[in-house]
Amino acid sequence: MTGDGGGPDDTGRKQGGAILFKPGQSGNPSGRPKGARSKLGEDFLAAMLDDFEAHGADAIARVREEDPSTYVRVIASLLPKEVKVDANPLKDVSDEELDRMLGVLAASLKLEIRHVDGDGGPGEEDEDGVSGPH
Protein backbone atom coordinates (compact mmCIF):
# COMPACT_ATOMS: atom_id res chain seq x y z
CA MET A 1 0.00 0.00 0.00
CA THR A 2 1.12 3.59 -0.24
CA GLY A 3 1.48 6.69 1.85
CA ASP A 4 0.71 5.86 5.48
CA GLY A 5 3.44 3.30 5.99
CA GLY A 6 0.95 0.85 7.49
CA GLY A 7 0.58 -1.47 4.50
CA PRO A 8 1.64 -5.10 4.43
CA ASP A 9 4.69 -4.26 2.32
CA ASP A 10 6.02 -1.64 4.79
CA THR A 11 7.68 -3.63 7.54
CA GLY A 12 10.32 -0.98 8.30
CA ARG A 13 7.94 0.98 10.55
CA LYS A 14 7.03 -2.12 12.57
CA GLN A 15 10.66 -3.09 12.99
CA GLY A 16 11.74 0.41 13.91
CA GLY A 17 13.89 0.67 10.79
CA ALA A 18 16.45 -1.75 12.23
CA ILE A 19 17.98 -4.47 10.08
CA LEU A 20 17.72 -7.59 12.19
CA PHE A 21 20.16 -9.73 10.20
CA LYS A 22 22.90 -8.86 7.77
CA PRO A 23 22.18 -9.86 4.18
CA GLY A 24 22.95 -13.54 3.70
CA GLN A 25 22.90 -14.23 7.43
CA SER A 26 20.25 -16.37 9.12
CA GLY A 27 18.59 -15.99 12.48
CA ASN A 28 19.30 -19.68 12.99
CA PRO A 29 22.85 -20.28 11.76
CA SER A 30 22.77 -23.94 12.80
CA GLY A 31 19.66 -24.49 10.69
CA ARG A 32 16.87 -26.95 11.29
CA PRO A 33 17.97 -30.08 13.14
CA LYS A 34 18.78 -32.90 10.74
CA GLY A 35 15.74 -35.08 10.11
CA ALA A 36 13.27 -32.77 11.85
CA ARG A 37 11.18 -32.23 8.73
CA SER A 38 10.97 -35.90 7.81
CA LYS A 39 10.42 -37.25 11.35
CA LEU A 40 6.63 -36.94 11.24
CA GLY A 41 6.45 -38.48 7.80
CA GLU A 42 8.72 -41.35 8.79
CA ASP A 43 6.74 -42.02 11.97
CA PHE A 44 3.47 -41.94 10.02
CA LEU A 45 4.76 -44.36 7.39
CA ALA A 46 6.13 -46.69 10.05
CA ALA A 47 2.73 -46.73 11.81
CA MET A 48 0.96 -47.36 8.50
CA LEU A 49 3.36 -50.20 7.70
CA ASP A 50 2.76 -51.80 11.10
CA ASP A 51 -1.01 -51.52 10.63
CA PHE A 52 -0.85 -52.84 7.07
CA GLU A 53 1.24 -55.83 8.11
CA ALA A 54 -1.35 -56.65 10.78
CA HIS A 55 -4.56 -55.89 8.89
CA GLY A 56 -3.75 -55.04 5.26
CA ALA A 57 -4.70 -58.27 3.50
CA ASP A 58 -7.99 -58.52 5.41
CA ALA A 59 -8.80 -54.86 4.70
CA ILE A 60 -8.11 -55.30 0.99
CA ALA A 61 -10.34 -58.39 0.85
CA ARG A 62 -13.11 -56.58 2.74
CA VAL A 63 -12.99 -53.59 0.36
CA ARG A 64 -12.99 -55.92 -2.66
CA GLU A 65 -16.11 -57.71 -1.37
CA GLU A 66 -18.01 -54.76 0.12
CA ASP A 67 -17.08 -51.89 -2.19
CA PRO A 68 -15.70 -53.13 -5.54
CA SER A 69 -15.73 -49.64 -7.10
CA THR A 70 -13.36 -48.34 -4.41
CA TYR A 71 -11.22 -51.46 -4.83
CA VAL A 72 -10.86 -50.81 -8.57
CA ARG A 73 -10.32 -47.07 -8.01
CA VAL A 74 -7.44 -47.79 -5.60
CA ILE A 75 -5.84 -50.21 -8.04
CA ALA A 76 -6.18 -47.66 -10.86
CA SER A 77 -4.60 -44.96 -8.69
CA LEU A 78 -1.55 -47.18 -8.17
CA LEU A 79 -0.98 -47.74 -11.88
CA PRO A 80 1.30 -45.38 -13.79
CA LYS A 81 -0.56 -42.51 -15.46
CA GLU A 82 1.30 -43.04 -18.70
CA VAL A 83 2.56 -46.29 -20.13
CA LYS A 84 5.20 -46.09 -22.84
CA VAL A 85 4.77 -48.82 -25.41
CA ASP A 86 7.60 -49.44 -27.81
CA ALA A 87 5.89 -50.53 -31.02
CA ASN A 88 9.07 -52.15 -32.34
CA PRO A 89 11.29 -53.43 -29.54
CA LEU A 90 13.62 -55.12 -32.06
CA LYS A 91 14.27 -52.03 -34.21
CA ASP A 92 17.89 -51.74 -33.03
CA VAL A 93 18.70 -55.44 -33.46
CA SER A 94 20.70 -56.36 -36.57
CA ASP A 95 19.48 -58.95 -39.10
CA GLU A 96 22.29 -61.27 -38.06
CA GLU A 97 21.27 -61.03 -34.39
CA LEU A 98 17.60 -61.62 -35.32
CA ASP A 99 18.63 -64.73 -37.31
CA ARG A 100 20.60 -66.00 -34.30
CA MET A 101 17.68 -65.34 -31.94
CA LEU A 102 15.27 -67.09 -34.32
CA GLY A 103 17.62 -70.08 -34.50
CA VAL A 104 17.76 -70.34 -30.70
CA LEU A 105 13.97 -70.08 -30.45
CA ALA A 106 13.43 -72.66 -33.19
CA ALA A 107 15.88 -75.06 -31.54
CA SER A 108 14.13 -74.70 -28.19
CA LEU A 109 10.78 -75.45 -29.86
CA LYS A 110 12.33 -78.25 -31.95
CA LEU A 111 11.38 -76.51 -35.19
CA GLU A 112 13.24 -76.52 -38.45
CA ILE A 113 13.55 -73.22 -40.26
CA ARG A 114 14.12 -73.28 -44.00
CA HIS A 115 13.81 -70.58 -46.62
CA VAL A 116 10.61 -70.86 -48.65
CA ASP A 117 11.40 -71.49 -52.30
CA GLY A 118 8.61 -73.91 -53.25
CA ASP A 119 4.98 -73.44 -54.18
CA GLY A 120 3.67 -74.21 -50.73
CA GLY A 121 2.60 -77.75 -51.60
CA PRO A 122 2.36 -80.66 -49.17
CA GLY A 123 5.41 -81.26 -47.04
CA GLU A 124 6.69 -77.73 -47.44
CA GLU A 125 6.83 -74.91 -44.95
CA ASP A 126 3.91 -72.65 -44.20
CA GLU A 127 4.08 -69.07 -45.45
CA ASP A 128 6.04 -68.15 -42.34
CA GLY A 129 8.92 -70.42 -43.39
CA VAL A 130 8.55 -72.73 -40.39
CA SER A 131 7.90 -76.45 -40.59
CA GLY A 132 6.97 -78.61 -37.68
CA PRO A 133 4.25 -78.40 -35.04
CA HIS A 134 2.69 -74.95 -34.59
Position 42 in a domain? yes
Give pLDDT, residue 62. 96
Give pLDDT, residue 86. 75
Read off the pLDDT of residues 75-100 as tens digits, 9 standing for 90 and up.
999 988 887 887 888 888 898 998 89
Structural domain for 74, as ranges = 36-78
Q: Is the pLDDT of residue 18 over 80?
A: no
Contact residues for 12 (Cβ-Cβ < 8 A; gap 6+): 5
Confidence of residue 8 (pLDDT cuts 50, 70, 90): low
Position 118 in a domain? no
Read off the pLDDT of residues 21-55 as tens digits, 9 standing for 90 and up.
777 777 777 777 777 778 888 899 999 999 999 99
Position 18 in a domain? no
Position 126 in a domain? no
Position 47 in a domain? yes
Position 63 in a domain? yes
Position 67 in a domain? yes
14 versus 121: the higher-pLDDT residue is: 14
Cβ atoms of 111 and 130 closer than 8 Å: yes
3-state secondary structure of 131: strand
Give pLDDT, residue 85. 81
Give pLDDT, residue 129. 53
Specify the number of domains making up the chain. Answer: 1
Position 117 in a domain? no
